[in-house]
Structure 1
Amino acid sequence: MLVARCRGDGEVIGIVPVRPRCHSLEFRMGPLGSPGWKLPVVQVLGSVPLLQEQRGLLDAVVQALFAHFPEARGLSLQAVPSELFGQFGQLDGMGVSVLDGWRECHTLPLPENFDAYLQKLSSKKRYNIQRQVRQLAAEAGEIEVVRIERPEQVAPMFDALRALMPATEFAAFPAQFKFERLAACGLLFSCMIRCAGVPVGVVVGSNGIGRWMIHNIVSDGKYQHLSAGTSTMHLALKEMMAAHALAEADFGYGTPNRDFRSSHELRTRGHVLVWRRAGLTPAVLACNVLYGKLYDYLASSVKRLKKRVNAWRARRKA
């Protein structure tokens, strides 16, 4: 945790939580895999430093981070709003890149209560969601909604996740004790849906101070024909809005499907990397970008060639 203070009166003017890690710059090789270059970075938790608006403060904070972590070649900011990008391009002696380009994050503005939220939906959409919930209850059993916010509730949530997620995905899931620590700090906002006592869906989220940060939506695959994922999110949202004052739900990167585009707001964000101009880092980043463009061009060329060959074969056969 980097804390910035005024030299005069000691007033706190900035807080920047960070953690050192490695970012992998992948070089895709199709069926041969994707070898990567491990770039040591300092990840800024929360994506944007919490700083007062003072000239030179951001530059001083960035210089202090690089001085404290001399092995780091860059600062990783995972979800920077596009409107804040300009301030990172003016840092002294630093370059800046947007990894994987700008992407859309979808958020759901929330009114004062759940009934007001339902009124924002079309009558057809309200009917469909309520019908899906009724069908789920009829087939799977009586529905129970449980908020997961205390440390002792984390173990049952993990049992449900283990049962609902593919083994490979669950193996890559963060450790249970991390969620117990989040709950102890009042930062865990998750919800579990049970039918006849058996978990059928889990929404893993965290407290963003008036914002519900959605990380995972997991549902039982055998109820996919009943849109169990949609019902899980609907019931969890109803429960969380009744318990907490929420201004919005933030679903992160992705594009909502057709059913939700009318109610969701898209916001442009990007994974920003601030890097030192000295050393090999600029050359490695440039090679990675160039390689990615060349790979995409060759892949699209091969697809076009295959399409032409298949069309020629079809004409010849005819």
Structure 2
Amino acid sequence: MFGELPSTLQNLTDLRILDLSENHFSGNIPTWIGDKLSTLMILSLRSNNFDGQIPHKICDLQYLQNLDLSRNNILGAIPKCFSNLSAMANRSYDNNYSYDWGGTTTLIYLSALLVLKGGEDEYSSILGLVTSMDLSANSLTGEIPKEIGILVELRSLNLSGNLLIGNIPDEIGNMELMESLDLSMNQLNGEIPPSFSNLNFLNHFNVSYNNLTGQIPTSTQLQSFENFSYMGNYLCGPPLTKNCSTKGLPTDVANNGSSSEGSKVNWLYVSIVLGFIMGFWGVVAPLFFIRSWRHAYYRKLDHVGRKLYVYWATIGM
């Protein structure tokens, strides 16, 4: 399917799942998704050609537990209002959505295909167990909003493959139920927040190919991942073999800070070489190539030698 999303979908006001992934839909994500489809629990528009910004109306979907907008051409910043997504934010929130069907109340059990932990997994369970957000492989810009740390019910957060900048918010460390966190292939800088030591349930973690610096925080989980989870940065400390300096920087990066000292040593060697060359061509070379200088030089040596001989002979007497 291709083109813009048909507006007739907004008439499905009791819709729980809207999965239009792996199509060729284009244009902006319509705002009526947040206005009219207020009971959505799963919204997947993965692998389409949507562009424009994420509409803030998405933040009104209080039952939304799985949001997948990955692999599109979405621009702009991550909305700060994501903190309003109640089902992702409130631990006391009743994730088992009850629906009155013909006079009986039934819990909604759904089967969903979710991209978690670097692979696709199918879950047939209450959706509260697999709360996730995937915004990867777009062109999102700006900083990761600290408000995202309010979504403490998230089990998976994937922001990889965007153009995000700035520091990683310390508030992400509050999302202690997180099992999969991918921030790779962005332009993030600064250090990995020490609060990440609180993420004790992580079994997939990737911050590779950013501009991160400093020591990897110490925790059971963060030291359990392979080196490729951290590659393409300026990080140091376990699990990497690169040691940290006293400033918490990789040893080779720290040494660059003393480049002035290194340059002094280099100039010392240069001056020695230049002195040798100038001495050779200024004194020694003429003795080889100018006969009159050579004769005068040896005559002078002979004269000095005779004087020394007489001097030592006199002392000896």
TM-score by length of 2: 0.25
Q: Which structure is higher in RCO with an 8 Å CA cutoff and minimum separation 6?
A: 1
Q: Which has the larger radius of gyration?
A: 2
TM normalised by structure 1 equals 0.25
- Point out the structure with the larger strand share: 1
More helix by share: 1
